[in-house]
């Protein structure tokens, strides 16, 4: 039982059960003991891990979320009942909606029928129209923030990064916030968002609904943003009468997108199964600025990115926690109340998307074998496993190599981060704390899987971060269990120390620890070794592995470092 179950918040709201969680917070089903009704209560857990400066921004955004949603009076917007302070953090009390998110439905079915998607889009459009009339830009429209109630209501939720007209206090100069897949081209370029930006996001959301994938997602946030600005979308194959609406909403030029009245008419016609009678020919979502699709402007990254820098924004790129409820790990989703059942489905027999072919190697296996071979052999393992040669070589990053790990500060047994450690903001968007002087080396970027090491001594001791946007397993424990079996046959003297499910940052994860003997013929650092890794799947379906390895003799210090690394880890933002 969670220690907060039964807690009385603000002397009024009795927490019942956790119905959703993510990197930013947790949503509880709660009982309002004054009005005797069930509500959803959103707790900002991210503030517990943030720096003082980031915590202030998070608190400001939480209050702004409540203010923004409260300004909108529409049946398609989740109602905010109250915002209160408890335990030094703001909590939002809102309408409890039982149902699924659109992301959940897409993940379960593979895709949504065009007529149903048009009907959903029509209600989202009406919610946006009401929001814009109240001076509120949503800025994070995506499938995970579209709720499909058991009573067939469609609601737009999560105004956590909404911008209220005339209020610029919750964003910082050059900051881009929102889910990368659904950012409009003008926002990627650093221009101020407007109502047309929310309409672009609606178009991308509808594309995801009918095709089962987001239109511009690539292998990294940076390449996704470049595709949004420069590349054509693939023509939707399953959109039916919704196709011209999607094309119109995904016009690269915001001035070329339809207005609310025209978009509403087009969606209403598509919801009736009729191809919309467009008032004018909308240009397709072509690349802008004279670039050849698929190429970048030489020497320039999209606005809001420093060259080789981190993904900007105060919220995770994969999505923020929907208020009231949201779904599971869909296309850039958050999480929320347990699903009670999807909206009535379309015609039966919609095929699920094909399961990707199992890769020759799985993520943690490369992690382990690279440790066996040593830093110099990591690239060779990657090439052998994938048949590609694009994964190796140093890729200079934060820090410089140090002579050895012996000078590293040792964390306390509770995993606290030593004051002498520094924060490394990796160019792939994530952040972590390590001793000063650790160097960075990419050990594989074969598409969906990316891996990077941080080491003080050329690989004898190292931390590896692996990011897989298309994991082979539905949960971390199953993945590690499979790899455990593989390594038991491959590594000399392999012994499992532990392999067990756990909860990491309010998400289901798994921790795995093992020992083996690295052989001189395979490794630059032969002898007994030990490793541990935390694996979890984020709200947007990305699998993260945080791995550490060292000689077994150094494990007392290394295990403490592992706890501190886990304490300071931050997903790409």
Point out the residues that are catalytic. 140
301: Cβ–Cβ under 8 A, 6 or more apart, which residues? 222, 307, 309
Dist. CA 276–CA 278, nearest whole Å: 6
Which of 202, 193, 196 has its CA nearest to residue 168? Answer: 193
Dist. CA 195–CA 201, nearest whole Å: 10
Dist. CA 247–CA 258, nearest whole Å: 10
Q: Helices 476-490 and 363-373, interaxial angle, to 10°?
A: 40
Write the CA distances from 227 to 36, 182, 222, 249, 294, integer angstroms. 50, 12, 9, 16, 7
444: Cβ–Cβ under 8 A, 6 or more apart, which residues? 366, 378, 379, 382, 386, 391, 392, 450, 451
**The two structure tokens encoding residue 560:** 């403490």
* Spatial strand order in the sheet of 462-468: 439-444, 449-455, 462-468, 543-551, 527-537, 507-518, 495-504
237: Cβ–Cβ under 8 A, 6 or more apart, which residues? 211
H helices within 37-113, ranges in order?
Answer: 52-70, 102-109
CA angle 32, 33, 34 (to 5 degrees): 95
**The two structure tokens encoding residue 238:** 């399953």
Instruction: Decide: residue 88, CB within 10 A, 0-12 exposed, 13-18 middle, 19+ buried.
Output: exposed
Neighbours of 381 (CB within 10 A): 23
**The two structure tokens encoding residue 444:** 């594989």
**The two structure tokens encoding residue 395:** 């890729």
Dist. CA 515–CA 549, nearest whole Å: 10
Please report where in the chains the tokens 């399961």 appear, as a residue: 355
- Paired strand residues for 533: 512, 547
Q: Answer whether 39's CB lies under 8 Å from 92's CB.
A: no
Dist. CA 537–CA 474, nearest whole Å: 8
């Amino acid at each position: 039982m969670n220690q907060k179950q039964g807690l009385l918040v603000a002397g009024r709201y009795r927490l019942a059960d956790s119905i959703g969680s993510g990197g930013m917070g947790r949503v509880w089903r709660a009982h309002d003991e004054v009005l005797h009704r069930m509500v959803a209560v959103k707790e900002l857990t991210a503030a517990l891990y943030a720096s003082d400066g980031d915590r202030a921004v998070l608190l400001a955004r939480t209050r702004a979320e409540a203010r923004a949603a409260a300004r909108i009076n529409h049946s398609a917007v989740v109602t905010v009942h109250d915002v209160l302070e408890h335990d030094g953090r703001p909590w939002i009390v809102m309408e409890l909606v039982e149902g699924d998110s659109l992301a959940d439905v897409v993940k379960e079915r593979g895709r949504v029928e065009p007529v149903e998607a048009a009907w959903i889009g029509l209600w989202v459009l009406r919610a946006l129209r009401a929001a814009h009339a109240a001076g509120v830009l949503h800025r994070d429209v995506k499938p995970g923030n579209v709720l499909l109630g058991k009573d067939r209501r469609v609601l737009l939720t999560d105004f956590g990064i909404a911008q209220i007209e005339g209020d610029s206090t919750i964003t910082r100069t050059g900051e881009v916030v929102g889910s990368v897949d659904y950012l409009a081209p003008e926002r990627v370029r650093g221009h101020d968002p407007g109502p047309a930006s929310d309409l672009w996001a609606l178009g991308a959301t509808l594309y995801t609904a009918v095709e089962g994938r987001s239109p511009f997602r690539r292998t990294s946030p940076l390449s996704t943003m470049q595709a949004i600005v420069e590349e054509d979308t693939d023509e939707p194959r399953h959109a039916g009468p919704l196709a011209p609406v999607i094309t119109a909403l995904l016009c690269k030029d915001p001035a070329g997108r339809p207005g609310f009245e025209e978009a509403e008419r087009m969606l209403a016609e598509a919801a009736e199964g009729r191809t919309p009678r467009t008032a004018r020919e909308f240009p397709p979502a072509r690349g802008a600025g004279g670039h050849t699709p698929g190429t970048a402007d030489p020497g320039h990254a999209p606005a809001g990115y420093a060259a080789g820098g981190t993904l900007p924004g105060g919220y995770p790129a994969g999505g923020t926690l929907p208020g009231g409820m949201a779904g599971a790990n869909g296309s850039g989703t958050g999480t929320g109340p347990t699903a009670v059942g999807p909206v009535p489905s379309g015609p039966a027999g919609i095929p699920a998307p094909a399961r990707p072919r199992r890769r020759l190697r799985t993520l943690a296996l490369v992690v382990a074998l690279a440790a066996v071979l040593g830093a110099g052999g990591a690239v060779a393992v990657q090439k052998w496993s994938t048949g590609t040669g694009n994964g190796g070589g140093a890729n200079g990053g934060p820090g410089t190599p140090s002579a050895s790990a012996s000078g590293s500060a040792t964390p306390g047994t509770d995993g606290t981060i030593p004051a002498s450690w520094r924060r490394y903001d990796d160019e792939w968007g994530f952040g972590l704390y390590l001793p000063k002087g650790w160097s960075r080396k990419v050990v594989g970027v074969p598409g969906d899987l990316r891996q990077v090491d941080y080491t003080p001594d050329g690989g004898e001791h190292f931390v590896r971060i692996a990011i897989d946007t298309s994991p082979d397993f539905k949960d971390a424990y199953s993945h590690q269990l499979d790899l455990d079996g593989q390594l038991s046959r491959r590594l000399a003297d392999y012994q499992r120390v532990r392999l067990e499910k756990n909860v990491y940052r309010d998400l289901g994860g798994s921790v795995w620890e093992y020992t083996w003997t690295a052989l001189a013929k395979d490794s630059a650092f032969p002898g007994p070794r030990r490793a541990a890794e935390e694996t979890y799947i984020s709200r947007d379906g990305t699998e993260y592995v945080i791995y550490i390895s060292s000689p077994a003799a150094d494990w007392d210090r290394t295990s403490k470092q592992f706890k501190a690394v886990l304490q300071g880890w931050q997903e790409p933002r």
